[in-house]
Amino acid sequence: HVYLVESGGGLVQTGGSLRLSCAASGGSSNNYNMGWFRQAPGKERTFVAATNWYGGNTDYEDSVKGRFTVSRDDAKNTVYLQMNSLKPEDTAVYYCAAGPPKPRAGAMVYEYESWGQGTQVTVSS
């Protein structure tokens, strides 16, 4: 399995922006579908955004459409999540995940095999 490390989380005010990074090692990121999920305290892990293995297909959870953008730089083995217009309800631990290459960017937890340790995003009101 590929090893994933997230970074870029932090504390931001409502309306602010953050860019999360997910660095992959032990494998080339362009061999994987890559996804972002989040988990708030006391809640289950939910889908945020994903890109398929060659970047030609992306998917977003409805509440982040138009605000978040997932992208990948396979030369750097890194996937990004640009988050704009952040809201308090975006507060959560954000996880990066890697799964088998498929034409469609997956939105389900079970479609991913490798997970990072998570990075905390806190949006203050």
122/120 Cα distance (integer angstroms): 6
The identity of residue 90, as a single letter, is D
Q: Which of 42, 29, 35 is nearest to 2 (CA)?
A: 29
Tokens of 30: 């362009």
Tokens of 73: 């730089």
User: pLDDT tens per residue, the chain (125 residues)?
Assistant: 799 999 999 999 999 999 999 999 887 767 899 999 999 999 999 999 999 988 789 999 999 999 999 999 989 999 999 999 999 999 999 999 999 999 999 999 999 999 999 999 999 99
Q: Which of 22, 20, 47 is nearest to 32 (CA)?
A: 22
